[in-house]
Amino acid sequence: MLTKNFIQVGDKAPDFSAIAVYEQEFKQVQLSNYLGKYLILLFYPLDFTFVCPTEITAFSDTYDQIHSLDAEILGISVDSEYCHLAWMQLDRESGGVGDLKYPLVSDLNKTISLSYNVLNNEGKSLRGLFIIDKEGVIQHSLVNNLDVGRSVNEAIRTLKAIQYVQNNPDEVCPANWQPGQSTIKNSPNQAKEYFKSI
């Protein structure tokens, strides 16, 4: 029997409880409280940096679209809640993020980043993105190095594809699939119909 020391897609998402900042207030968040919804975990290196505010604000700006898909977002870094608050109180033009539509979680003791295997040797979180389904199972993971930002549009497309195949278990989504496009029947003979059409 093979053993592993890290999480991967298909595993139950490691639970955690931590302090977050939301609407200029400190609040306790717990992963298990999000059961019954889809959840995007958005790990990022540090507040007051360069790529991070572009990602954090981009996800906030598309929050309503993500929320309409029965999904929530949690941003997570190794900064303290006080650092998160100061970053939110700084406007975007000055390198802050302003008011966000989702919480930023403090992982000051680095246990969350470690449990999701995104903590680098410098003690920063890599750019990890995890999509967790309603049952608390990780359905998607993506990790970028520090200097490369992620695509909000691709995260949304992937979320829609995950939801589609979970609602249609006899179908799978091909490369670059978008809602409304053809899928593939999960059967050798029926799959040929799709391949004949491309």
- Catalytic positions: 52
CA 158 – CA 164 distance, rounded (Å) = 10
CB atoms within 10 A of CB 72: 19
Closest CA to 196 of 186, 179, 187, 184: 184
Which helix (H) or strand (E) is 93 found in, with range? none
CB atoms inside a 10 Å sphere around CB 34: 18
Instruction: With beta carbons less than 8 A apart as the criterion, state whether 134 and 104 touch.
Output: no
Q: Which two tokens stand for residue 105?
A: 């979680």
Q: What residues does 29 pair with on adjacent strands?
A: 18
